[in-house]
Amino acid sequence: MADMRWIGGTLSTAAVYDVAVSASLAVVTNWRVGSSVTPSTRIPNGSDNIWITGDSTTSILSDLTTLSTVTGELHITNTYSQAVGSSTAGYLEMKPAESYLGSAGQVYADVKASTGPVTITQTATPAVGDVGLRLKGSAISTISMEGGTVGLAHELGATATAATIRVLSGSLTLGEGVTYGSASLRSGSLIVKCASSTSDIEVFGGTFYGFEEWQVDDLTVFGGTAYTGGSGAIDGLTINGGTVNAAQSGIARTYTTVTQNGGTFKYDPDVVTITNHGAPDAPVSIVARSI
């Protein structure tokens, strides 16, 4: 195992800057071992750790499957400001034990079947409606979202699976092809477009959005604001604080059980059917007014 550092920028044999060569993960001399300034004699393999840092001013756009079997750690630091992958080049593929993603450049990353955690601290600043990091993976254990703007399975037809999702800051969008176990939001925003009748969401702060055909088993709100729009059904909605606004979608849907221990709940009874009003956990005062 070694720490392999991306440099890139190799000249072609004609001494002409060739993007296909300089931006290729498969070119041996685009790599350095550790802090060495001497070009590597091999490309990363096995359990090597991958470091993509501000030491490089070269994007990664070619041979993006080169690292697909590498199982060490993946580090893309906040000093790196170039692109990793693109809509035409595709995703960087790796199976990292752990991923630390903080690039200031646009990144497309697929962690494949890795069960390792993914920590996101920063992304590129995207155009309106876009994301700075596109992420995929089929067996992610935990996503810790700590900054930036991220789309999990963001493209049409893309899929991803994560057991636990925690949003502490920034903005995370779960595309229609996402499968997850539980998600929590403490600050920033969480946008959910995927439907799951077995997933649970907790909102402690920030802003939650349920869009399109999203669905959830249990949604528990302690603070912040949750916009529960779209056509998604909720099995159990518990409001302990904050605001749940179900009045911004005119699509008929059913919330099986709603329990209000505090906070504010906005809904249109002609649109949202509540099967059961759960008993609060303690004495409460509930005041209703038109919206």
* Whether 275 contacts 257, CB under 8 Å: yes
Alpha-carbon gap, residue 9 to 235, rounded angstroms: 54
- Window from 12-21, 55-64, 186-195 with minimum mean pLDDT: 12-21
238 forms bridges with which residues in the sheet?
A: 220, 259
Alpha-carbon gap, residue 89 to 98, rounded angstroms: 24
- Mean pLDDT for 259-263 is 97
127 forms bridges with which residues in the sheet?
A: none
165 phi and psi angles, rounded to 5 deg: -125, 125
Q: Are strands 133-136 and 140-152 parallel, antiparallel or unpaired?
A: parallel
129 phi and psi angles, rounded to 5 deg: 85, -5
Does 10 have pLDDT greater than 60?
no
Three-point CA angle 193, 195, 200, nearest 5°: 100
Report the SS3 class of residue 68. Answer: coil
Alpha-carbon gap, residue 168 to 189, rounded angstroms: 9
Report the SS3 class of residue 136. Answer: strand
Q: What is the pLDDT of residues 155-174, one digit of tens each?
A: 999 999 999 999 999 999 99
* Whether 14 contacts 44, CB under 8 Å: no
Does 260 have pLDDT greater than 80?
yes
Question: DSSP of 1-42, one letter per residue?
Answer: --EEEE---PBPTTS-B-HHHHTBTT-GGGEEETT--SBPSS
Of the candidates 226, 220, 224, the one whose C-alpha atom is nearest the C-alpha of residue 187 is: 224
Report the SS3 class of residue 235. Answer: strand
Q: What is the pLDDT of residues 103-151, one digit of tens each?
A: 999 999 999 999 999 999 999 999 888 999 999 999 999 999 999 999 9
Widest distance between CA atoms in the chain: 80
Here the contacts of 38-45 (C-beta below 8 Å, separation 24 or greater) are 39/7, 40/4, 44/2, 44/4, 44/70, 44/72, 45/69, 45/70
Three-point CA angle 46, 48, 51, nearest 5°: 145
Half-sphere CA count of 290, side-chain side, radius 13 A: 0
**pLDDT band at 15; cut points 50, 70, 90:** very low
To the nearest whole percent, how much of the chain has pLDDT over 90? 87
* pLDDT at site 220: 98
Q: Where are the domains of the chain?
A: 65-81+90-277
Q: What is the pLDDT of residues 62-90, one digit of tens each?
A: 999 999 999 999 999 999 999 999 999 99
Does 218 have pLDDT greater than 50?
yes
